[in-house]
Each structure stands twice: as C-alpha cells, then as structure tokens.
Chain A
Amino acid sequence: MGLLHKLISTARRRSSWLLHFDCGSCNGCDIETLACLTPVYDVERFGVVNVGNPKHADILLVTGTVNPRNREVLAVLFEQMPEPKVVVAIGACGLSGGVFREAPNVVGGVDKVIPVDVYVPGCPARPEAIIDGVVLAVEKFRGKSGQKGEGK
C-alpha cells in the first residue's frame, strides 16, 4: 500500500493539469500565465497541461477580482473539478481585489468564493512567480488524499 501511495504521489507531482479562469482580470496576469506555456518557460516539461475543462483539471488558476456576475461561474467550475484539487489565486486582484477592491462591482478576492491554496502576488505576476506558485500548488496537490473538505 505504501508503494501505491508513493506511486500516486509521484504521478500527481509530475502530472498536474490546470484550468485557467479569468474572473474579471485586466488580462495582464492572463498574458503572463499563458506566457508560461510558450517555449521560453514551457511548463509542459513538468507535465503541466492547460486543459480547458474543469472535469479534467487538478489545479484551478484564477486571475482577476471576482465580480457578482462570475462568482457563480467560479463556484460551479470549482464544484465540477474532481478531488483532489487545488486553487491558485494569481495577482493582486486575485488575492484581495487589488487596486479595484473598493469598487462596487467587485467581490474582492478569490478566497471570498472558493478556498484558495496558493497566493501568487504581483501586478502583474511574473511568469517565474506563477511557475513558482504552480510548483507549490503541485506539492499541495500531491499531498491531498482525495477526500472532500481537505482545507488549506
């Protein structure tokens, strides 16, 4: 059993698929995130693939402040992801709403809607920081046992 656990753990570390969702970002963080997929940064060498489908994803990368319109969508996408899963909030907006946090149409941060595991600060966050965040998320993913309700 220990061997099986180790195998699954290794597999999770080396094969994490992510879903990137933009919750009202100015697209600055999005551009930096997608830059990670380019040949210069190439996250696929870590086994990380950007699947566009929550049902196939392990890691949810969220950029932008959340607004009342897309908070339900974010919740549904998180709900549709099978366990174990981790959430990474990217950029100042994702952490707390950034410079827009006083605005009336802003919920102010991803963790007001879904539980977040990793926070990547920056405005915009640099690709190296995003990769760092994803690597940390992968470690957390690997540690989760797949039971629902495992917190941060």
Chain B
Amino acid sequence: MTVQAGLARLDFLLCIMGSSMSEAILVVLIIVPFLAALACFFIRSTAFRTFVVIATVCVLAISSLLLQESPAGGFGGMSAGIIDPVITCGDFLLLGIMFFLGCRYRHPLIVMLTGGQLALFAWLEFFVFAGGQGPALFQADVLSLTMVRVVCIVGGFICLHAIPYMRAHEEHQKLERSRQPGFFAVLLMFLGAMNGLVLTNHLAHFYFFFELTTLCSFLLIGHDGTDEAVGNALTALWMNAVGGLLLLLAIWGLYAQSSSLDMYGLVVSAGTGRAAMLPLALLILAAFTKSAQLPWQRWLLGAMVAPTPTSALLHSSTMVKAGVYLALRFAPALAGTMLAQGLMLAGGFTFLAAAALAIGQRNAKKVLAYSTISNLGLIFACAGIGTPGAMAAGILLILFHAVSKGLLFLCVGTAEQQVRSRDIEVMRGLCAIMPFTGMIAVLAVLTLILPPFGMLLGKWMVFEAGADNIVFYLMLVLGSACTLLYWVRLAGTLLTGGQTAGFKPEIKPFLTRFPLAALVCAAVILGLCAPALYAWLIAPLTSLFDAITTFPAGQPLSANRAGGLFNAQGAFPLASLFLVAALIGLVAMYAVRKAMAGKKGSPYMSGANSNLPDHFLGPMNRPVRAVVENYYLAPLFGEERWTLWVNLAAAGLLLFILGGGLWA
C-alpha cells in the first residue's frame, strides 16, 4: 500500500513540475481522494477525519470547476510508464480481493465470475495487449466534465451531510468501536475512483475504476454488518461482477478488432460490422448491470439497506451513472444501428416498468430506487436515439437527476433517522415535525416533475427526439404519467397536516442543513442556466457526431431572444416560464400570508372533530385517529406480482440488443 502511495506521490510531483495545469488538476482529482482515504482510515481522530473530509471535498469541488475542456482526442501520456503498472497491480489486487470475498462468503457465483475475470484479465494483460506507447491517458470533454462536476460537487455535499449523519447513525446503534474511519475512507476512495472512471481515456484503466466502484459499493452496502446488509452486498457484488466480466469481454473484442485501448479512438473509428457491434453490445450490457437496469434491478433495491450517504452518493448520483456514462461515451459509434434501436427500446421499457413498479411501493427509499432506475433508463434511451441533441439531453438529465435525486435521498435519510421508519405512511405529515427537511423534500420533488425545471426540460427533449418511434413514444408517455403519480403522492404525503399550535423548530447541525439548502438552490439555478448549458454541450457533440456517423443528426435546439429553446419541431419558453413561476410564487405566498392571518380551520370530518388534531369522536365519544392511506394498488402494481414478467420482457430486449450485435 505505502509503496504504491509513494509512487503515486512521486508521479504527482513529476506532473506538477513538468506538464500542463490540466494534468495537474487531473492528478489532484484522482489521487487526493485516495490519499485522504488512507488518512481517514489510519488516523482515528474524529476531528481530524472531519477536517480531512471537508478539506478533500473543497479541493475536489474547486478542482473540478477549474478543469478545462480538453480538445477532442484525449491528452496526457507522460506518466503512462508509472501509472500503467500501478493500475495493473491494482486490478489483480482488486480481483483477488473479490475472489477472496467470494470464497469467504461461500458464494459460488462470485467465485466463478471473479475467477473468470482474473483468468481473462491475466491472459489479456500478458498475452494479448501489446506493449509500447499506450493511448492518451485522459480526456475531459463535455460529458466527462459534467460527470466530474457532478461527482465532486454533488458528491461533496453528500459527504458533508454524511459527517453528522453517521455520527447520529452510530449513536443510535450504540457501537463500542466506531466504524466511521472505514466508512469515510471507502467513501473518499470511491470519489477518486469515479473521477478516474470519467476522466480516463484508457479502456483498461476504465475497467479498473469500474471494478473499484463495485468493491466500494460492496463495502458500503454491507457496512452495518447485519445479515440482510451482507446478503444484499453479495448480490450487488455478483451482479456487478457480471458487468465486469462483460466489460472485459467487450474490451477484448474491441482490442481484437482495432488493436487499441484508446476510448476516443475506438468511438471514432468504430465500424458497423459484426466485429465492431458485438463488443459494443457487450459493453452496453455491462453498462446495464452497473446502472441496475431491468432485469438487474434487484441489487439496487437491496442496496437501500445501506446508510443514506451510500444510497445518495453511489446509488443515485454517481456510481449508477457510470453505466450511462459508458453508453453515452459510445453513443456516436452506435448511432443508427439496430443495436441503438434495441438500446432505445430497452431504456424506454425500463423507464416505464420501473415507474409502474414504483407506484406499488410503500417503502420510501425503494420508491427513490425505482425512480432512479427509471430515469437511468431514460438516459440510456437518449444514448440509443443517436443524435447530438439526444446526447445533450442525456447529459442534462444526468446533471439534474443527480442534483435532485441526491437531495431527495438526503432528505429521506434525515427524515428516516428521526421517524425510524422507511414507510411513506409513517412519514406522513413530515412537514409538521421537520419543517426544514420536509419543505426541501417537497421542493426537490417539484424540481423533478414540474416545468420549467431541468428534469422536465430534459424529458421534453427526449419526447421531441423520440417521437418518431411509436412504441418508444408510448412507453415515454405512460412512464411519464406513472412518474408524476408516485412523486405527487410522495410529496402530498409529506405535507399533510393541520395547523398545530406552536411547533418546535427543527434543530439540525449546520453540515446537515447546508448541503440540503445548497442542493435545492443548485437545482433551481441550474434549471435557469439550462439553455446556456445546452449551448455549451451541443457544439462539441455535433462536431463529434458529424465526424463519426452519417446518421441524420436531427435538429439541435437553439436559444432565442426570449430565453427559450426551439427548433423546427417545437419550442420551450424556458425563461418566460421561470418568470411566470417566480410571479406565481410571489402571489401565492401573499395569498398564504393573508390566509394564515385569518381564522384557523379544522379538517372536515363530518362534524365529529375532536380537540385532538386528526382525531374524530367515535364510538362512546372516544377520539379515534382518522387514518387515510395512499392508494398503492399493490395487487395491480406491486413488485411481487410483476417483477418476474417485467424481467422476462427486459431479458428479451437484452437479447434483442445482443442480436443487434450478432447480426449487424
């Protein structure tokens, strides 16, 4: 461990001394989290750990903003001589650890999958990959930049929130020996791994970071050590190991076809024959497991047993985005093929099915998990549509989804710590007992479903781009309707409540409130900036697609003078809608003030109201609590009923994707 750290530090120094600012920032982004993780793990002082986490988060956030967009084609390779062996050793170590875990927990699937990966990787590394000058090491195009900023900034906020959260978590568990050092070490290491994943241009390095995130996920899901947690962690491990194996096979196929591990080069020079399409199909399938798309959703649902920072960071904002990142990275190579059609339909189907399954869920975290799966399906579909506009929509969706969903996970986690339950019905009326958290949760939900915010804008773009394919459009429409239903139901449940005389203000640590407030402001402000973001995205994407494929590029959107986005197909008057929304907010707040100054009302309960809130006078004049629950319609929408069929259909679509590769 220390030798590697020393080598890495030497590398870091060389970079700082010799090369450009960008490489230095890249090294900071990838190496600093690993160093910080070591510090957290070995130095067991709480104050020091808090300082390290906060400092790392700040360094990462600033670095990600300072990172410049690199010209197309990747850059950097000077330190390849040192980095390559380090990563190869890391790979073997990683796969070895996973194999060992499989043996220790007697999990035959993990043993087989990781053993297979070990064997394949060893063979590839020693007998297939030629030595000599490797590809350019890094890339920082608009996709990577967006992902890096999401990881560092949204991830940073989540880490800040985790500090008081884990303290309270452990207080509740009454542990004798704190496990926070390990938790934060893995969390920080994960940030480094994600940064590496999105910034690397070397496919084998990508594989290393991909598998490293799998290990981090395993460690974090099983953190609490209960039987359920360990079981779910193992499920996550084997499903992601399937992805790892598929990825390795894809890398082999791609290398066999073009003798290159340069990601940018592979995208640009991909042909359309079977030799090219089959590895790409395997790549997409690997991405599907990472992003917990149907039929691989079980591991993400099981991962919800983990503490909230894990769910927020890995399982909504960043790790699961690694899969869509991969798909979007290779989207120009797929454009117009049957494989892309399959990808679009599979993504659309996941969007619909996961949304429908979320309707039947009472567990708040599972609703959020299904919703994440659903939105990731939408982004996969963007990759399948294959136009620069669709890809820009996908990147915007990544950004807005990460911000709002991460925020929502933090709110639900904070709420769960207080009410000690994940049932939506127990969280009914949260705004009365936790006004700050409850209100922000409701606002987060509104930014996910309402115009003019970013998620709706992205969804509109997908509607416009995908309307040519009727089956896809039908799935979009249905999925969108289902999405609205479960979100409004959740938000409505949180804000139920009569006027209670004098509630206690919610007292929470600064590091809990600050990330929530900052993220909700970010969601709104980023929504306002969406046209500017789109303009920043569309130019390089258009030239990328133009250089690679002859598939018609469709109509990218342009900004008009009134601050909206439009093309020949339609128009979204963004700035006007924001203005209207702001006016509505002002007028409505005035109406609220006027109404609250008046007489206090009581809910209508056929006149039998008792003086206890929410209670009516029942038999023998005793107060009875009026219990109303939401319609979950579990027999119609429940996961018990539909999971099998939905998985079968999804597996069929995956075969369709594979067919797109085999019969290209």
Contact = CB atoms under 8 A, between A and B. Distances in A.
User: Is there a contact between chains A and B in the complex with CB atoms less than 8 Å apart?
Assistant: yes
Interface of A: 21, 53-55, 72-74, 76-77, 79-80, 148
19 contacts: A21-B607, A53-B604, A54-B607, A55-B601, A72-B607, A72-B608, A72-B617, A73-B607, A74-B607, A76-B602, A76-B607, A76-B609, A77-B607, A79-B602, A80-B601, A80-B602, A80-B604, A80-B607, A148-B599
Contacts of B602: 76, 79-80
A54 B608 CA distance: 13
B604 A55 contact: yes
A80 B608 CA distance: 11
Nearest to B609: A76
A72 B606 CA distance: 11
Interface of B: 599, 601-602, 604, 606-609, 617
Contacts of B599: 148
A47 B573 CA distance: 42
A72 B602 CA distance: 14
Contact of B608 (A21, A55, A73): A73
A72 B599 CA distance: 19
Contacts of A73: 606-608
A55 B617 CA distance: 19
A119 to B, nearest CB: 22
A80 B601 CA distance: 7
Contacts of B604: 53-55, 80
Given A72-B607, A73-B606, A80-B601, 4 more contacts: A72-B617, A73-B608, A76-B602, A76-B609
A148 B609 CA distance: 21
A76 B601 contact: no
Name which of A21, A55, A80 has the most chain B CB atoms within 10 A of its CB: A80
A65 to B, nearest CB: 17
Give the 10 A-B residue pairs with the shortest CB-CB distance, closest first.
A73-B607, A77-B607, A76-B607, A76-B609, A73-B608, A55-B604, A53-B604, A80-B604, A80-B602, A54-B604
Contacts of A21: 607
Contacts of B608: 72-73, 76
Name which of A74, A79, A148 has the most chain B CB atoms within 10 A of its CB: A79
A51 to B, nearest CB: 11
Contacts of A72: 607-608, 617
Nearest to B606: A73
Nearest to A21: B607
A72 B617 CA distance: 10
Contacts of B609: 76
Nearest to A77: B607
A148 B598 CA distance: 11
B484 to A, nearest CB: 28
Contacts of B606: 73
B439 to A, nearest CB: 26
Contacts of A148: 599
Nearest to B598: A82
Contacts of B607: 21, 54, 72-74, 76-77, 80
Nearest to B601: A80
B517 to A, nearest CB: 36
A104 to B, nearest CB: 18
Contacts of B601: 55, 80
A73 B609 CA distance: 8
Contacts of A80: 601-602, 604, 607
Nearest to A78: B607
Name which of A53, A54, A72, A76 has the most chain B CB atoms within 10 A of its CB: A76
B614 to A, nearest CB: 15
B292 to A, nearest CB: 46
B422 to A, nearest CB: 35
B594 to A, nearest CB: 14
B620 to A, nearest CB: 11
A18 to B, nearest CB: 16
A76 B606 CA distance: 9
B618 to A, nearest CB: 12
B609 to A, nearest CB: 5
Nearest to B602: A80
B617 to A, nearest CB: 7
B42 to A, nearest CB: 65
B470 to A, nearest CB: 45
A63 B602 CA distance: 24
Contacts of B617: 72
B223 to A, nearest CB: 50
Contacts of A74: 607
A121 B351 CA distance: 66
